[in-house]
């Protein structure tokens, strides 16, 4: 709910929205409903991509406004084992203590920088939900993060009991590229093992 509220307030017609770890495409659908110019949804599981594609088609969204990249993001090009969780939203790469593993699948991965270079596209707003794989995604996105067009990044991260982001490397990457990171509190005020955060440039609209 808190991420929906933030994105609904921030997205505008000129935005290019990247949905990293799109799953069935809820936030991609939200962005299209908000009228953004373009959406690129990154999802490595082909079964989930099929569900997302049908959802977009059922809503009759102009196919020129959206693209589903059946691809995992990392800091290199190659192949990686996608660990499937009992809940599709918990699938991802590497070890993740909150995932009930039900299988795995070899999938293609690439860096965000390389994808953007080849596709000749630059995001303005990015959502990242990759179940503990945040650092490889951000580590492969140096050019995207340093580009002035990239103004807002919403991401989920594991936290310490104090509420701070557990992986210090994430905060360091954002600080290096001129972003200020803030917690997006749940309406309940309860802290869970993973929380949502936003990284925003100083010149962007206030949250």
Neighbours of 207 (CB within 10 A): 13
Dist. CA 124–CA 150, nearest whole Å: 4
Please measure the distance between the N-terminal and C-terminal CA atoms of the chain and give it in whole angstroms. Answer: 15
HEC per residue, 170-190: HHHHHHHCCEEEEECCCCCCC
Tokens 């999802």 — which residue?
Answer: 43
Q: What is the pLDDT of residue 78?
A: 97
Q: Tell me: the pLDDT tens digits for 87-123?
A: 988 999 999 899 999 999 999 999 999 999 999 999 9
Cα separation, 86 vs 98, in Å, equals 11
| Closest C-alpha to 158, from 127, 134, 182 | 134
Pairing of the two strands 72-74 and 78-85: unpaired
Q: What is the pLDDT of residue 88?
A: 84
Residues of the chain with pLDDT under 50: 204-207
**DSSP states of 3-53:** HHHHHHHH--TT-EEEEET-TTTHHHHHHHHTT-SEEEEE---HHHHHHHH
Q: Which domains does the chain have, with CATH numbers?
A: 2-55+66-158 (3.40.50.150)
Q: What angle do CA 2, 19, 71 make, to 5 degrees?
A: 145
Share of the chain above pLDDT 90, in %: 94
Q: What is the largest CA-CA distance in the chain?
A: 45
């Amino acid at each position: 709910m808190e991420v929906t509220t933030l994105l609904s307030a921030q997205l505008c017609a000129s935005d290019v929205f990247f949905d990293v770890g799109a799953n069935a495409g809820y936030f991609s659908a939200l962005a299209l409903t908000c009228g953004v110019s373009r959406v690129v949804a990154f999802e490595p599981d082909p079964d989930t991509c099929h569900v997302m594609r049908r959802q977009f088609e059922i809503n009759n969204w102009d196919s020129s406004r959206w693209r589903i990249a059946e691809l995992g993001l990392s800091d290199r090009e190659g192949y990686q084992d996608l660990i499937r969780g009992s809940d599709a939203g918990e699938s991802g790469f590497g070890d993740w203590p909150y995932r009930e593993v039900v299988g795995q699948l070899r999938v293609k991965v690439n860096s965000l920088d390389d994808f953007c270079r080849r596709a000749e596209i630059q995001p303005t707003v990015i959502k990242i939900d990759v179940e503990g794989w945040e650092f490889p995604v951000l580590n492969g996105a140096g050019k995207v993060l340093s580009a002035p067009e990239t103004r807002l990044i919403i991401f989920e991260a594991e936290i310490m009991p104090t509420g701070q982001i557990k992986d210090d490397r994430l905060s360091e990457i954002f600080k290096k590229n001129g972003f200020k990171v803030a917690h997006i509190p749940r309406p309940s005020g309860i802290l869970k093992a993973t929380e949502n955060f936003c990284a925003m440039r100083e010149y962007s609209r206030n949250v």
